[in-house]
Amino acid sequence: MRVQKLFFISKRCDGCRACEVACLEKHSQSQSIFMTKMEQPSPQPRIKVKRPGNQYWATVCQHCTDSMCVRACMTGAMQYSPEGEVFHNTNKCVGCWMCIMVCPFGAIAPLNEAKKASKCDLCKDEKIPPCVASCSRQALFYGTPEEYEMKVAGD
């Protein structure tokens, strides 16, 4: 199992939220950042940058190995991929918010109009996730935990 996921390197982030914008556009129906607000149901960014203390913090799915949301999901919508990432099948989702109730990172957002949960899907159809590509300060890293340790954590 090689789980590739997003790592957030707080000290590099300057809170520009370009990642949110990139994510929002990617997950919009129209593929247009300018139309997202008017879309029905309107999409939500699946990564959110906040400043809870004196540093920025990106809220994004951690693709936990032992995921609370997979266990809490009462429809089977939250599932592991063969690689071990946590995937959300929106077709199955009924919007009961059980996953939101348990995700300790607050990384799942309720789409109230659509009655569907929404969270990072790692944009598997892209070379690298758009949020990562959008970050001019390399505060987001996409890779396996080992790669992260090797390439980033040491610096």
Residues of the shown chain interacting with ligand SF4 in the complex, contacts defined by CB under 6 A: 72-75, 77-78, 88, 93-99, 117
Pick the binder of other proteins from 82, 104, 154, 155 (CB under 8 A): 104
Task: Tell whether residue 114 is a contact of other proteins (CB under 8 A).
Answer: no
Residues 6+ apart with CB under 8 A from 18: 131, 134, 135, 136
The secondary element (H helix, E strand) that includes residue 48 is: strand 48-50
Q: In this structure, are residues 138 and 128 in contact, taking their beta carbons and an 8 Å threshold?
A: no
Q: Which does 131 bind (CB under 5 to 8 A by kind): other proteins, ligand SF4, none?
A: none
Tokens of 152: 């980033």
How many residues in the shown chain lie near other proteins by CB under 8 A?
Answer: 57
In the chain, what is the straight-line distance between the N-terminal and C-terminal CA atoms, in Å?
26
DSSP 3-state of 71: helix
Binding residues for other proteins (CB under 8 A): 10, 18, 21-22, 25-26, 29-35, 38-40, 50, 52-55, 57, 59, 66, 68-69, 71-72, 74-76, 91-92, 94-106, 108-110, 112, 126-128, 130, 133-134, 136
